[in-house]
Amino acid sequence: MRNDERFEIERAFDLLPHVVGASWAVIWFRMKGIKKPTREEYREKTLEFLKKIEPIFDSYPKEEGFAEICKYIDFRKNAEYEKIQSGENEEIEKRYDRYVDYG
């Protein structure tokens, strides 16, 4: 698969973890009055909310013409989940720091 064929999916996975996962997690912690969650709690909640949009990741048809992009989406989804869990997603970590510092 050419880079230009997966460009939009790459951009989506660059943004979705913090725009969807972390944003919803922050609101959840605020509404619960939890001002200082642990990093692990924050990462888990981020993943919980990000996983709620998984149906969109499986929305392309299971046809030959979509096989490569579907495989790439699955690969990228799993890589992003791992980066969040391990603390390697810099945007998630930055948003955690901001939340516990400024609430």
* Tens of pLDDT, residues 36-67: 999 999 999 999 999 999 999 999 999 999 99
Write down the pLDDT at residue 1.
62
Cα dihedral 63→66→67→73 (10° resolution):
-130
Of the candidates 17, 8, 77, which has an alpha carbon nearest to the alpha carbon of residue 49? 17
Tokens 């930055």, located at residue:
94
Q: Are the beta carbons of 21 and 46 closer than 8 angstroms?
A: yes
Write down the pLDDT at residue 5.
83
Buried b (16+ CB within 10 A) or exposed e, 14-53: eebbbebbbebbbeebeeeeeeebeeeebbebbbebbeee
Q: Binning pLDDT at 50, 70 and 90, where does residue 89 land?
A: very high
Average pLDDT over residues 65-82: 96
